[in-house]
Structure 1
């Protein structure tokens, strides 16, 4: 029913135990699949990883993605998925409320075609945790992102018809939600569905983020 998509840049510092814990959290969701894409320069890790027991699970697929960045990797994984619903995760993001993802059929049943389901996430910090996520509104999103992309559930056909703009390095998800958002028929569940660590790329490259956000907000609809 749903595939979790995890695109990973090859890095000798990657903690395989963290990835295995992350995948195990995804597999707590009924009928879930997990696609892990290792960037093309990660051939050195592929054989080692593929030999691990977790990657022998039929629900988990490890693949090499010929990509030049996160968004190209996510595009490739979305194309490779075979389920009607997909959800994008960053490395180490943990599913903490599998019941939310189990309820996708119930949340979309008997409604006009729902193609996006948003929820909340908890961002784990060294001193305190903070919660993020509200219903998606296109006009609000264009001012400031309030809907959580991580942990959101998207119709795969919608993703494939819009795809991420791979010219972005950091805010491609924001730009995609601005562009694809014109086609969203979205719903919201106030559940905290995913936990993620603070201090990732989005919090450490502020000048680049500002420049990319400016470009994304000035981009004309096509």
Structure 2
């Protein structure tokens, strides 16, 4: 069986403080068939120079103006050539050196269309300090309809399914990843596997978890995403928000 190629897409903008760590966590992986696609939004700091120095000739670096993060991720999807596609935020880290090999082993089953795992929110200044622990738990369509969702940074899917189901709706400013996951996980013909291990460490302070205003904006977009995908938001949205409480304990 041929070694599955994994494309990892990173969107960046003025990420000079963190992008080097993100790329390094990918370069340390023990899975060799990896393509890293960095889509930069025309950064004005040293982001592009740091990325250029860290990437290899088989990777892709594009720096140009975009219409937001989901437009950037769609550009990455259009350039991906791997069998499997995943995402690594410019301020996140893969949790250890064997993340991609464990993900790839799940896809050795040809019936598996997508894989996800667990995520730790860590302090921006101390990556060993865990603030929240997102234990995803097993997948079911019933849970999705009640507001459950795995963390998007841990989600990997076959590229052929992105071609079938589409990329990100860039009319969303914050919840485009949530809307996309709803669309993918509601697809009845896809088998989804849960890898019960931490795959990603996420620094706190991102676009959807930084301020009260951002949280309110995300809630409005979540409501719209649920309606778009046939999920009752009056049932799913309260459950979705309350389900986050155990992550703090």
Task: Give the TM-score range, shorter chain.
Answer: 0.7 to 0.9
Say which of 160, 163, 185 aligns to 1:160: 163
**1:78 alignment counterpart:** 77
Q: Which moved more, 1:207-216 or 1:140-149?
A: 140-149
- Which portions of structure 1, spanning 4 or more consecutive aligned residues, are displaced by more than 4 angstroms? 44-48
1:103, distance to aligned residue in structure 2 (A): 2.9
Q: Distance in 2 between matches of 1:128 and 1:47?
A: 26
1:135, distance to aligned residue in structure 2 (A): 2.7
TM-score (norm 1): 0.85
**1:87 alignment counterpart:** 86
Distance 1:48 1:185, change over 3 A: closer
Distance 1:130 1:53, change over 3 A: same
Between the two proteins, the alignment pairs up a number of residues equal to 213
Residue-by-residue CA offset, 1:131-176 (whole Å, 9 max, x unaligned): 1122333332233233121122111121233211111111111111
Say which of 198, 203, 209 aligns to 2:204: 198
**2:144 alignment counterpart:** 141
> Contact 1:78 / 1:160 at 8 angstroms: preserved in 2?
no
Distance 1:61 1:46, change over 3 A: farther
Could you say what secondary structure the match of 1:25 adopts? Answer: helix
Matches within 5 A, 1:19-38: 19-29=19-29, 30-31=31-32, 32-38=34-40
TM-score (norm 2): 0.76
Residue-by-residue CA offset, 1:18-59 (whole Å, 9 max, x unaligned): 2111101011222222111012x43x558961785313x224
> Where in structure 1 are there 5+ consecutive unaligned residues?
none
> Where in structure 2 are there 5+ consecutive unaligned residues?
231-249
> Contact 1:118 / 1:135 at 8 angstroms: preserved in 2?
no
Q: Distance in 2 between matches of 1:201 and 1:130?
A: 17
Say which of 170, 174, 195 aligns to 1:170: 174
TM-align CA RMSD:
2.4
**1:116 alignment counterpart:** 114
Say which of 147, 150, 154 aligns to 2:153: 150
1:179, distance to aligned residue in structure 2 (A): 1.1
Q: Distance in 2 between matches of 1:33 and 1:214?
A: 35
Q: Distance in 1 between matches of 2:51 and 2:182?
A: 40
Instruction: Please say if 1:214 is aligned against 2:223.
Output: yes
> Contact 2:116 / 2:155 at 8 angstroms: preserved in 1?
yes
